[in-house]
């Protein structure tokens, strides 16, 4: 095999990339460092350090497994799009199995295609119900904000996106599905779902040794999450046997509920649970983190906040009686769009990701002394990429790459950034919920700024440089210090 690989590499003029700067055998020093950083809630700072010391494309060798890490747009375009057929999700299905089973996030090949086709109709742009539901959920969130009182928005954002995603899945929010006991059940669910994801990310870092990380606490958290989703699945099954295949009215006929489409295919409870958990994970945490970082950045950058508020005022009104924005109003807010774009540059919700080669192949750049030669990736090797680090590259974004400056997207300078900007991934597995997520996030931010003319951080709040704050990394990056703000109804 080795000789065949060498011939393959020579034929394609491959040259090896630099090795990462590990000092102990098996890369153990870096693994230990990663765990220390994770405990301090600064794991992404560690990834930045590795990129700085080892280069934007380097070879890693962790616990005996060789792989490539790359933060190079050309290479990512190859992995995710041009050479899509050469790669799959690698060990992810095994790492994620106890919580997620088999769903769109953990499948490859024909199974993945099938899941994607089932889900796609949910996001067709004419599905207005999705937007109507977001509106109601945002009003419930606003109702929980007491003026002039510090509030941590991060858990509220998770609740909001939990409700909107369960609406996509089940045609109703989980709160209305389980109205009487929702308060206690949801927090138990949220705790379990968050904890089990933390374990998934630890398992991911252990690579082939993922099975070492399977303590009772993790198994319990998975069970609680499953119980919760199973109850909603059972309700959909009961409903569908009561009214098989028939939509009740016009409104229902024009809507598409994911679970109903699934129930037409199978009544296998395990299959239904897995598919639903996968979408719940995709939709809840990503958008909640985007909202959290948006508000954190806005309160720390008052000039951006003021400019955004001025745009909202010029398109619709602000104030407690202002009309609620329609989709068309949001489309007329270009500054809002680039604020969100810039937030997802600095805090891409899925900051670290990877694929694995299913056959021996090459990546276009990163090898040899100039870094311009192709590099060999052997069958089974992982290609890791940290979008968070790539989005902070000064050679791609300029000297002020670490600064929150939405205006950088205004001129043409970044128009060829291509795979150098990758918050939603690219190629055939590009995020299905992108449009929905931006609508949801945009609407939520506009309603908050309309409703409250003043927003600032509470007294005693830590205000660090962008990127130096505490972060919690599961599959997504959330704020380790929450999102504490104070809203006021009257201007200062
Ligand atoms: C700001 C919000 C969001 C961000 C930044 C985001 C980002 C991403 C990323 C990076 C992936 C690729 C994962 C991978 O292949 O490894 C992805 C996939 C996906 N996203 Fe999103 N997402 C967001 C919101 C949503 C929402 C609201 C939904 C649906 C409710 C959603 C549904 C999906 C699905 C189903 C996939 C899997 C696609 C596939 O593998 O074919 N996303 N998203």
* Residue 171: pLDDT band with limits 50, 70, 90: confident
Residue 230: predicted pLDDT: 93
| Residue range 92-126, pLDDT digits in tens | 999 999 999 999 999 999 999 999 988 887 776 55
Question: For residues 116 and 110, what is the distance between their CA atoms, to the nearest angstrom?
Answer: 10
| Statement: residue 485 has pLDDT above 90 | yes
Question: For residues 237 and 273, what is the distance between their CA atoms, to the nearest angstrom?
Answer: 12
For ligand 1, atom 10, name the residue with the nearest CA.
424
| Statement: residue 179 has pLDDT above 50 | no
14 annotated to a ligand binding site: no
Residue 225: predicted pLDDT: 93
**How do beta strands 361-367 and 373-377 pair?**
antiparallel
Residue 207: predicted pLDDT: 81
Residue 177: predicted pLDDT: 45
| Statement: residue 180 has pLDDT above 50 | no
**How do beta strands 484-488 and 454-456 pair?**
antiparallel
From the CA of 66, how far away is ligand 1's center (Å)? Answer: 28
In sequence order, what are the residues at sequence separation of 6 or more whose Cβ sits closer than 8 angstroms to the Cβ of residue 205?
31, 34, 35, 38
User: Mean pLDDT across the stretch 303-310?
Assistant: 97
| Residue range 262-284, pLDDT digits in tens | 888 888 999 999 999 999 998 89
Question: Which ligand 1 atom is nearest residue 349's CA?
Answer: 5
Between 218-227, 380-389, 414-423, 453-462, the lowest mean confidence (pLDDT) is in 453-462
* Residue 130: pLDDT band with limits 50, 70, 90: low
Does ligand 1 lie within 6 Å of residue 426's CB atom? no
| Residue range 215-224, pLDDT digits in tens | 999 999 999 9
DSSP result, 38-72? HHHT-HHHHHHHHHHHH-SEEEEEETTEEEEEE--
Distances (CA, A) of 209 to 29, 67, 371: 17, 15, 32
Dihedral-angle region of residue 27 (phi above 0 means left; psi in -120 to 50 means alpha; beta otherwise):
left
* Residue 86: pLDDT band with limits 50, 70, 90: very high
Does ligand 1 lie within 6 Å of residue 178's CB atom? no
* Residue 169: pLDDT band with limits 50, 70, 90: confident
Average pLDDT over the chain reads 89
Does ligand 1 lie within 6 Å of residue 90's CB atom? no
Does ligand 1 lie within 6 Å of residue 297's CB atom? no
From the CA of 284, how far away is ligand 1's center (Å)? Answer: 10
| Statement: residue 57 has pLDDT above 70 | yes
Question: For residues 23 and 30, what is the distance between their CA atoms, to the nearest angstrom?
Answer: 8
In sequence order, what are the residues at sequence separation of 6 or more whose Cβ sits closer than 8 angstroms to the Cβ of residue 234?
269
Q: Which two tokens stand for residue 283?
A: 């939709």
Does ligand 1 lie within 6 Å of residue 405's CB atom? no
Does ligand 1 lie within 6 Å of residue 62's CB atom? no
Between 37-51, 130-144, 167-181, 432-446, the lowest mean confidence (pLDDT) is in 167-181
Between 152-161, 236-245, 332-341, 478-487, the lowest mean confidence (pLDDT) is in 236-245
* Residue 176: pLDDT band with limits 50, 70, 90: very low
Residue 342: predicted pLDDT: 98
DSSP result, 400-434? TTTS--GGGGTSSTTTT-GGG--TT--GGG--SSH
From the CA of 279, how far away is ligand 1's center (Å)? Answer: 9
Question: For residues 258 and 272, what is the distance between their CA atoms, to the nearest angstrom?
Answer: 10
Does ligand 1 lie within 6 Å of residue 165's CB atom? yes
For ligand 1, atom 11, name the residue with the nearest CA.
431
From the CA of 47, how far away is ligand 1's center (Å)? Answer: 22
Q: What percent of the chain has pLDDT over 90?
A: 63
Does ligand 1 lie within 6 Å of residue 363's CB atom? no
Residue 25: predicted pLDDT: 76
**SS3 call for 120:** helix
Residue 382: predicted pLDDT: 93
User: Mean pLDDT across the stretch 367-371?
Assistant: 94
Residue 254: predicted pLDDT: 53
DSSP result, 240-266? HHHSTT---SHHHHH---HHHHHHHH-
| Statement: residue 165 has pLDDT above 90 | no
Residue 181: predicted pLDDT: 47
In sequence order, what are the residues at sequence separation of 6 or more whose Cβ sits closer than 8 angstroms to the Cβ of residue 351?
44, 47, 386, 387, 388, 473, 476, 477
| Residue range 4-24, pLDDT digits in tens | 999 999 999 999 999 877 777
**SS3 call for 31:** helix
| Residue range 209-255, pLDDT digits in tens | 899 999 999 999 999 999 989 988 898 888 877 665 554 554 554 56
Residue 186: predicted pLDDT: 57
Residue 426: predicted pLDDT: 96
ipTM for this model: 0.99
Greater confidence (247 vs 328) lies with 328
Residue 178: predicted pLDDT: 44
From the CA of 207, how far away is ligand 1's center (Å)? Answer: 23
């Amino acid at each position: 095999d080795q000789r065949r690989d060498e011939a393959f590499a020579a034929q394609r003029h491959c040259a090896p990339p630099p090795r990462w700067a590990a000092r102990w055998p098996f890369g153990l020093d870096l693994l230990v460092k990663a765990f220390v950083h994770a405990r301090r809630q600064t794991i992404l700072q560690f990834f930045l350090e590795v990129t700085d010391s080892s280069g934007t494309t380097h070879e890693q060798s962790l616990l005996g497994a060789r792989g490539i890490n790359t933060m190079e747009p050309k290479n990512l375009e190859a992995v995710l799009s041009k050479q899509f057929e050469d790669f799959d999700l690698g060990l992810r299905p095994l790492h994620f199995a106890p919580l997620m089973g088999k769903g769109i996030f953990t499948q490859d090949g024909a199974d993945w295609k099938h899941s994607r086709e089932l889900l796609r109709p949910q996001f067709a742009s004419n599905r207005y119900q999705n937007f109507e539901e977001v509106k109601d959920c945002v009003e419930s969130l606003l109702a929980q904000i007491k003026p002039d009182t510090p509030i941590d928005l991060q858990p509220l954002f998770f609740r909001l996106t939990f409700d909107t995603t369960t609406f996509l899945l089940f045609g109703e929010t989980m709160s209305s599905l389980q109205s009487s006991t929702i308060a206690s059940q949801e927090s138990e669910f949220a705790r379990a779902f968050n904890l089990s994801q933390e374990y998934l990310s630890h398992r991911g870092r252990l690579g082939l040794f993922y099975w070492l990380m399977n303590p009772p606490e993790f198994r319990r958290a998975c069970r609680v999450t499953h119980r919760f989703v199973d109850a909603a699945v059972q309700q959909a099954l009961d409903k569908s046997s009561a009214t098989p295949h028939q939509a009740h009215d016009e409104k229902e006929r024009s809507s598409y509920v994911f679970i109903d489409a699934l129930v037409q295919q199978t009544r296998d409870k395990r299959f239904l649970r897995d598919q639903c958990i996968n979408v719940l994970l995709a939709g809840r945490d990503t958008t909640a983190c985007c909202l959290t970082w948006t508000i954190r950045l806005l309160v720390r950058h008052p000039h951006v906040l003021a400019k955004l508020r001025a745009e909202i005022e010029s398109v619709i009104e602000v104030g407690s009686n202002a009309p609620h924005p329609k989709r068309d109003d949001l489309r007329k807010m270009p500054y809002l769009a680039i604020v969100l774009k810039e937030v997802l540059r600095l805090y891409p919700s899925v900051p670290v990701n990877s694929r694995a080669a299913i056959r021996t192949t090459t990546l276009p750049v990163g090898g040899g002394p100039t870094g311009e030669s192709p590099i060999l990736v052997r069958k089974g090797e992982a290609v890791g990429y940290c979008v968070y680090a790539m989005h902070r590259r000064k050679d791609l974004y300029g000297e002020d790459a670490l600064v929150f400056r939405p205006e950088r997207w205004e001129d043409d300078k970044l128009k060829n950034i291509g795979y150098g900007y990758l918050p939603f991934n690219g190629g055939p597995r590009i995020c299905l919920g992108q449009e929905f997520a931006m609508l949801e996030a945009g609407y939520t931010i506009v309603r908050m700024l309309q409703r409250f003319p003043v927003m600032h951080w509470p007294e005693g709040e830590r205000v660090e440089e962008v990127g130096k704050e505490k972060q919690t990394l599961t599959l997504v990056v959330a704020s380790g210090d929450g999102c504490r703000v104070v809203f006021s109804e009257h201007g200062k």
